[in-house]
């Protein structure tokens, strides 16, 4: 099992909360991005930034009183998420950030718009997730958010990170950011001055990986956050299978017994806080997918 790159302690403050939905909100705010910066091999058509680990830690510290309040009484947050008509985790993650951004007493952002469609004539050119005024810098910011789970293969090159559907790759997502999602210069009558990708979730390395390779070949990977494992064999340690919403953050207490029958999905070992993505080998072939779109 993967050991050498794991830190003795991570910044994972979402684990202190008891309510599952509040743990998920704390993860959405506090978790670092998957990447430290855009990979050098990515050709940037429209440049974008990623927040630093320190920025997300500061956002969490500012939001901590509110999170503790919600952990005592989470009805407001639960009611807010009931407006979701989709079960997709990516949309749930977006709405958790939406809830946080609406709480304007805890951060410097004024929310100007959410899910803003850009239409020219009868054609929709695209949609902006969030348009914000940063009241500290006075800049208008365009944020695109994504919750992603990518599994590394080969030598961890950019094109060798695959999503749950193998047609979804990290390289393709980053190209979509720079070519499509960040193409706009204005929205709602505001000139966009800063473009920011909020890309969270989890990365998975093959069991017994070459850690020096990932640090050398992929220095853009954020190793200040917990990285999971993936494989096609069943570990000898005791894992249980996580429910769909627990992919954001496992509940405070185990939601299942240790797995005896393994199916494709995400498993968790709470003693080591180890995540393991089990993949059936037949479903690693091109064009095959073993899990629904998250």
Ordered alpha helix ranges (H), the chain? 20-30, 53-72, 75-81, 89-102, 170-176, 211-217
**Residue 242, pLDDT above cutoff 70:** yes
Look at residue 285 in the predicted model and tell me its pLDDT: 53
72 pLDDT above the threshold of 60: yes
Phi, psi of 52 (to 5 degrees): -80, 165
Strands 228-231 and 274-278, sheet pairing:
parallel
Q: What is the pLDDT of residue 209?
A: 66
What percent of the chain is predicted at pLDDT more than 90?
A: 82
- What integer is the mean pLDDT of 78-107? 96
- Structure confidence by residue, pLDDT tens digits, 146-165: 999 999 998 899 999 999 88
Q: Which two tokens stand for residue 219?
A: 């220095």
pLDDT digits (tens, 9 = 90+) for 2-23: 343 444 579 999 999 999 999 9
DSSP 200-227: EEEEEEESS--HHHHHHH-TTB-TTS--
State the pLDDT confidence band at 290, using cuts at 50, 70 and 90.
very low
Q: What pLDDT shows up at residue 294?
A: 64
Report d(CA 232, CA 148) in Å as an integer.
Answer: 20
Given its phi and psi angles, is residue 279 left (phi above 0), alpha (psi -120 to 50 degrees) or beta? beta
User: Looking at the chain, which runs of residues are DSSP E strands?
Assistant: 49-50, 109-120, 123-134, 139-152, 161-162, 186-187, 190-191, 194-206, 228-231, 240-241, 265-269, 274-278
Residue 212: pLDDT band by 50, 70, 90 thresholds? Answer: confident
pLDDT in tens, 125-136: 899 999 999 999
Across the chain, what does the average pLDDT equal? Answer: 91
Is pLDDT of 178 > 60? yes
Boundaries of every domain in the chain: 13-284
Task: Please say whether the beta carbons of 39 and 158 come within 8 A.
Answer: yes
* pLDDT attached to residue 278: 95
> Mean pLDDT across the stretch 72-81?
98
pLDDT (tens digit, 9 = 90+) per residue, 8-64? 579 999 999 999 999 999 999 999 999 999 999 999 999 999 999 999 999 999 999
Share of the chain above pLDDT 70, in %: 91
The pLDDT assigned to 132 comes to 98
Q: What is the pLDDT of residues 249-289, one digit of tens each?
A: 999 999 999 999 999 999 999 999 999 999 987 655 554 44
CB of 70 within 8 A of CB of 81? no
Tell me which residue has tokens 């506090």: 30
pLDDT in tens, 98-132: 999 999 999 999 999 999 999 887 787 899 999 99
User: Which residues sit opposite 199 in a β-bridge?
Assistant: 146
Is residue 255 helix, strand or coil?
Answer: coil
- Give pLDDT, residue 213: 76
Closest CA to 59 of 96, 90, 87: 96
Looking at residue 119, its pLDDT comes to: 84
Q: What is the pLDDT of residue 239?
A: 97
Query: Given the structure tokens 């390289």, which residue do they identify?
Result: 171
């Amino acid at each position: 099992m993967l050991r050498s790159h794991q830190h003795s302690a991570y910044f994972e403050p979402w684990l202190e909360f008891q309510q599952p939905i509040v743990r998920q909100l704390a993860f959405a705010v506090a978790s670092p991005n998957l990447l430290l910066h855009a990979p050098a091999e990515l050709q940037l058509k429209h440049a974008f930034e990623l927040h630093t680990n320190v920025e997300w830690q500061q956002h969490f510290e500012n939001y901590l009183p509110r999170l503790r309040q919600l952990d005592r009484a989470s009805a407001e947050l639960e009611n807010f998420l009931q407006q979701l008509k989709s079960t997709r985790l990516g949309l749930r993650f977006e709405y958790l950030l939406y809830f946080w951004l609406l709480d304007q007493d805890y951060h410097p952002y004024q929310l100007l718009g959410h899910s803003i469609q850009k239409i020219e004539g009868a054609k929709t050119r695209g949609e902006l997730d969030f348009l914000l005024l940063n009241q500290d810098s006075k800049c208008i910011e365009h944020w695109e958010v994504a919750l992603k789970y990518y599994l590394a293969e080969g030598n961890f090159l950019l094109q060798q990170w695959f999503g749950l559907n193998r047609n979804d790759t990290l390289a393709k997502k980053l190209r979509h950011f720079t070519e499509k999602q960040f193409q706009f210069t204005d929205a709602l009558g505001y000139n966009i001055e800063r473009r920011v990708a909020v890309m969270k979730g989890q990365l998975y390395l093959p069991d017994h990986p070459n850690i020096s390779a990932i640090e050398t070949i992929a220095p853009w990977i954020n190793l200040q956050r917990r990285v999971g494992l993936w494989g096609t064999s069943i570990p000898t340690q005791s894992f249980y299978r996580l429910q769909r919403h627990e992919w954001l953050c496992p509940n405070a207490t185990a939601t299942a017994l240790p797995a005896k029958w393994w199916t494709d999905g995400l498993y968790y070992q709470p003693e080591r806080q180890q995540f393991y993505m089990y993949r059936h080998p037949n479903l690693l072939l091109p064009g095959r997918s073993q899990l629904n779109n998250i």
